C-alpha cells in the first residue's frame, strides 16, 4: 500500500527524479523514504510476536498500524 501513495519530495530530490509511480521501475519504496520507519518497524514487531520470536508479548496498546501511533 505504501508504494501506491505519493512519494515525498525529499525522496524524489534524493534520486534526482520528478516523479515515481508504482510500476516496473518502482515496485517497493526507496530506502530513503522516511515513511518506512513507522510502517516497517511495526510490521517487524508484529511478525516477531506472531511467530514466537519476540521474547515479550504485544504491549497493551497493540495492535498498532504504525509506531507513529505511539
pLDDT tens string 8-27: 999 899 989 999 888 887 88
Mean predicted lDDT score pLDDT of the chain = 80
The percentage of the chain sitting over the pLDDT mark of 90, rounded to a whole number, equals: 17
Domain total in the chain: 2
pLDDT score of 16: 92
Minimal CA–CA distance to 30: which of 45, 11, 2, 55? 11
Range of the structural domain that residue 15 is part of: 1-29
Q: Specify whether 40 is located in the same domain as 25.
A: no
What is the average pLDDT across 40-57?
A: 85
Q: For residue 27, give every residue at least 6 positions away whose Cβ sits within 8 Å of its Cβ, in sequence order, or none.
A: 3
Higher pLDDT, 12 or 63: 12
Q: Specify whether 47 is located in the same domain as 68.
A: yes
Higher pLDDT, 63 or 25: 25
Q: For residue 33, give every residue at least 6 positions away whose Cβ sits within 8 Å of its Cβ, in sequence order, or none.
A: 2, 7, 8, 11
Residues forming a β-bridge with 23: 26
25-28: long-range contacts, CB 8 A cutoff, minimum separation 24: 27/3, 28/3
Amino acid at each position: 500500500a505504501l508504494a501506491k501513495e505519493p512519494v515525498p519530495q525529499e525522496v524524489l530530490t534524493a534520486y534526482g527524479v520528478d516523479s515515481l509511480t508504482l510500476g516496473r521501475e518502482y515496485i517497493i519504496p526507496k530506502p530513503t523514504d522516511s515513511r518506512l520507519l513507522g510502517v516497517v518497524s511495526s510490521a517487524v514487531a508484529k511478525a516477531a510476536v506472531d511467530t514466537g520470536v519476540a521474547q515479550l508479548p504485544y504491549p497493551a496498546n497493540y495492535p498498532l498500524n504504525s509506531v507513529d501511533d505511539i
